[in-house]
Structure 1
Amino acid sequence: MATSKKETSPMNETSPKKARKVNSGPIREKGRTMDKMVAAVGQVLQKEGYYGLNIASITKAAGVDRRLVSLYFGNVDNLIAIYLKKNDYWENAGKDDITAMLEQDNDVGQAAVTKLLQGQFDTVNNSEILQKLIHWELGENNKTLRELADSREESGQLILDRVEANFPKNGIDLKAVLALQIGGLYYLSLHANINGSTFCGIDTSKPEGKERISKAMESLIAMLYEKKK
């Protein structure tokens, strides 16, 4: 009787060693801790206002050791700056809209400009944090806030230059008109939500009041573009 050859089991074959995975646990944990510390800035801002923003109150709200501020962010001002940029309209949604407009080869139209201003009004009106940031910016000379304002101005300038370039020199100071509109939007949002009263008989904290302002804004932009023709 012939002796059969013994089959080689796959288990007996030498398989290449798998590359050892890098333990990403500490990296993920660091990221979660940093996110928690950034969020704590907002918690303190809502509860104590901007005068309460200091390393002790922020780390207490985050439930972390205060040494992590310098380890992860360098200093408390950098931590606050990250929170401010994360919650600023012109650094987020507004910046995305502006980028999309600038990528278009054609003229920035009436609808795009209207959408940008209406988006700003809606966002500020519905965000207590943004209202506090604007109030803080108006009431205190602060390096971090100034840098945020400069960054916001730089983003806005790009689209304003593009829009203005397509307007004829017909006596319309486009940037001045838009400055009045944007400043008015800020003030109406702060007035309604902080003071709690009407302005010119309009309560912009109510849906019908917001709708009136939004439609008026659309009409003003339409007038500008009609004048352009």
Structure 2
Amino acid sequence: MEQENRKPRRPRRSKADIENCIDKAAKELVLKKRFSNVTVLDIIKRAKIEPITFYSRYQNQEDFFEHFVREFDYWFKDTMSAENNQVRTEEVYAELLINLLNELSQKSIMLELLRWEISDTNQVTLRTAMNRELHTIPLVDKYEADFKDSGMDISAISSLLIGGIYYLCLHKECSPFCRIDLNTDEGKRKIQNAIRTLSRLLYEHKQGTRSPSKDELEGIAERMRQRGMSEEDIRYCLMK
């Protein structure tokens, strides 16, 4: 009878299994409740562990979150390290921004982390934001060296593009922006195409191969007319 009333023991979990359970529980809770509403008790209950199991690994909630966010921060991922070592072409620059857009346009820990950093200034958000900044400095330095003699401030331009992606993805739950709805495939394609176009223009300017604008072409055509060239010759020369 005593054996029948005894509670069955939980299967013994390895250290890796426990850590995976903690991370999985935290991820589910953050996506459901957002960072600011998640407590250690929530994580412990969701992961089905004892408090001592959690606190033997982390000093407190802040310590856990600081470790946790590194796994999901876009700028800390292995793909980022690989791109850091690539030849920095127009396509690589565009891909870096498009991959960021794709990650943030869906419900992700990175998106919730940005939301938390904007809405709540605390020791964790301050450190995660600063760690991200420090981690990306080597890549920024390489792009600045690439664009050194181009007359363009690539860091300032990149900050506007990245900040714009952050805002569009955070704002998409409220309403479209400039008639672009990132909740739709069409909206995502428009921003992706815009990123490719801007990347191409940046590198054309850097290489001195920028294509003339429509107004510039019309000005050239008018000067050719003044010199007596026929419309057929003008179209041929300007490839219109």
Give the equivalent residue in structure 2 for 1:116: 96
- Asked whether the 8 Å contact 1:98–1:159 carries over to 2, the reply is no
Q: Which runs of 4+ in 1 moved over 6 A?
A: none
- Asked whether the 8 Å contact 1:164–1:174 carries over to 2, the reply is yes
Give the equivalent residue in structure 1 for 2:56: 71
Pair 1:58 & 2:43 matched: yes
CA distance in 2, matches of 1:173, 1:139: 29
Give the equivalent residue in structure 1 for 2:235: none
Q: How far 1:118 moved relative to its partner? A: 0.6
The Cα offsets for residues 115-151 of structure 1, whole Å up to 9 and x where unpaired, read as 1111111011123332221110111112222222222
Q: How far 1:99 moved relative to its partner? A: 2.4
Give the equivalent residue in structure 1 for 2:67: 82
Query: Which residues of 2 match residues 77-226 of structure 1 at below 5 A?
Result: 77-92=62-77, 96-104=78-86, 107-192=87-172, 194-195=173-174, 197-226=175-204
CA distance in 2, matches of 1:157, 1:200: 32
- Asked whether the 8 Å contact 1:40–1:58 carries over to 2, the reply is yes
Q: How far 1:170 moved relative to its partner? A: 4.0
CA distance in 2, matches of 1:97, 1:29: 29
- Asked whether the 8 Å contact 2:98–2:195 carries over to 1, the reply is yes
CA distance in 2, matches of 1:154, 1:47: 30
Q: Which amino acid in structure 1 is aligned with residue 103 of structure 2? A: T
- Which of 4, 14, 18 in structure 2 is aligned with 1:33? 18
Q: How far 1:180 moved relative to its partner? A: 0.4
Give the gaps of 5 or more residues in structure 1: 1-24
The Cα offsets for residues 155-209 of structure 1, whole Å up to 9 and x where unpaired, read as 32211211110214343111111100000001111111x22x2100011111111
Give the equivalent residue in structure 2 for 1:15: none
Q: How far 1:98 moved relative to its partner? A: 3.6
- Further displaced range: 140-149 or 116-125: 140-149
- Asked whether the 8 Å contact 2:74–2:80 carries over to 1, the reply is no
Q: How high is the sequence identity, in percent, across the aligned residues?
A: 28
Q: What TM-score does the superposition give when structure 1 sets the normalisation length? A: 0.79
CA distance in 2, matches of 1:61, 1:37: 8
Tell me the matched-pair count. Answer: 197
Q: Which amino acid in structure 2 is aligned with residue 60 of structure 1? A: K
Q: CA RMSD in A?
A: 1.9
Pair 1:47 & 2:32 matched: yes
CA distance in 2, matches of 1:99, 1:47: 30
- Further displaced range: 37-46 or 179-188: 37-46
Shift in CA distance, 198/171, structure 1 to aligned 2, threshold 3 Å: same
Q: Which amino acid in structure 1 is aligned with residue 127 of structure 2? A: E
The Cα offsets for residues 17-71 of structure 1, whole Å up to 9 and x where unpaired, read as xxxxxxxx97x62221121112211222223222322221211121211122211
